Amino acid sequence: MPRQGQCGTWGLKFSWRNNYHLGCEFQIYRGSITAVLHTCMSKTRVHRLGDLQLKIMKLLWERREATVAEVHQTVARERDLAYTTVATMLRKMEARNLVAHREEGRSFVYRAIVPSDDVTRGMADHLIERLFEGSMADMVSHLLTTHEVSREELSKLEKLIAERKKKL
């Protein structure tokens, strides 16, 4: 439920929190509304996205904003999807606090509200936990034995490991 509170002498502030440890403040100052998304606990939500959702998020991270038509046009190049399917997916993603929209004329303009680093970290952690029971060493071992790795990539990995060891 929204809570109303004073926001200085300029206006009112409404805030809410949900089960995903996210909160939102709507601050009304002299007739303009600002929404601020923030975490209310140290634990952050793990974002698990399907292929279509990830494709949409990558597009929004790249462009910063896009209408439903622009998202549909880009996604439809690879998959035969109806415009309404893309619009429904964006609404569902908004309900999950992944994207937000604003109205521009008769169009909805969407933007990502979750940083790409948060999604990458969450999905990678989830993958490591499910496939390798949380073992980073097992994951790296699997990748090194099942994929071709160039000398440059090995050097980069060695450098990252050396830097990490210094921090321990």
Confidence of residue 47 (pLDDT cuts 50, 70, 90): confident
Question: Which of these ranges, 23-27, 76-80, 95-99, has the smallest mean pLDDT?
Answer: 23-27
Task: Summarize the confidence of residues 82-95 as an average pLDDT.
Answer: 96
Task: Summarize the confidence of residues 81-92 as an average pLDDT.
Answer: 96
Task: Summarize the confidence of residues 135-160 as an average pLDDT.
Answer: 93
Confidence of residue 46 (pLDDT cuts 50, 70, 90): confident
Break the chain into its structural domains and give their ranges.
Answer: 3-39, 46-134, 144-168
Kindly report the CATH number that applies to the domain delimited by 46-134. 1.10.10.10
pLDDT at 134 over 60: yes
> So what's the pLDDT on residue 79?
86
pLDDT at 28 over 50: no
> So what's the pLDDT on residue 164?
93
- Write phi, then psi, for 96 (nearest 5 degrees): -90, 10
Q: What are the residues whose beta carbons fall under 8 Å from the beta carbon of 113, sequence distance 6 or more? A: 37, 97, 98, 99, 100
Residues 39-51 as b/e (b if ≥16 CB within 10 A, e otherwise) read: eeeeeebebebee
> So what's the pLDDT on residue 40?
38
> So what's the pLDDT on residue 22?
45
Rounded distance between C-alpha atoms, residue 26 and residue 14, angstroms: 5
pTM (2 d.p.): 0.66
